[in-house]
Amino acid sequence: MATQTAISNVKQKIIASRSKLQPFETVVKDYIKDLDNTLPENLTTDSLIKMALTAIRLNPKLANCTVESYISALFMCCQLNLQPNVEGQAYIIPFWNSKKINGQWEKRLEAQFIIGYKGYVDLFYRHQSAVSIDMQPVYKNDVFSYQYGST
């Protein structure tokens, strides 16, 4: 129930902030504080704020993304317990997206959460049945074969 209340508070703040011109970092900090109860046990609000701001510093175009998309991408990181831009676990990347708003098509820059291959490996090893995983690069003109399932 606390999660639903926190998400409602964030939605209300997003609607209110659309009419105000606030620095992106301030808005992100405000939303994250509201969602403190939804964080995994090993992640504090302060560490999430640092993670969010570091991602923006590494890719300044993220500050031009819609707040909704950026917060959503951050919380995908939290739900999967993957850190963006850390050892290839996950990435938050800006993409242009067209949406129909009030009958008009608008192009908007939106942040998208993308899992890196090391994130998939991490998620694999979290499963109680995981034993091992093997990955090798495949280059152009390589001949290779694979088999689904265990060997």
What is the tens place of the pLDDT at every residue in 54-112?
Answer: 888 888 898 888 888 888 898 888 888 888 888 889 999 999 998 888 888 989 999 99
The angle formed by the CA atoms of residues 51, 115 and 65, to the nearest 5 degrees, is: 55
Condensed to tens digits (0 to 9), the pLDDT of residues 117-128 reads 899 989 999 888
Q: What's residue 8's pLDDT?
A: 64
What is the pLDDT, as a whole number, of residue 21? 42
Highest-scoring range by mean pLDDT, 13-27, 38-52, 90-104: 90-104
Contact present, 82 and 89 (Cβ < 8 Å): yes
> What is the rounded distance in angstroms from the CA atom of residue 144 to the CA atom of residue 97?
37
Identify the CA nearest to 36 among candidates 81, 89, 78. 78
**Least trusted range by pLDDT, from 18-22, 25-29, 78-82, 83-87:** 18-22
List, in order, residues 6 or more apart from 145 with CB less than 8 Å away.
Answer: none
The pTM of the full predicted model, rounded to 2 decimals, is 0.70
Using CA atoms of 138, 118, 86, 32 in order, give the dihedral in degrees to the nearest 10: 130
- Measure the CA–CA gap between 77 and 113, rounded to whole angstroms: 7
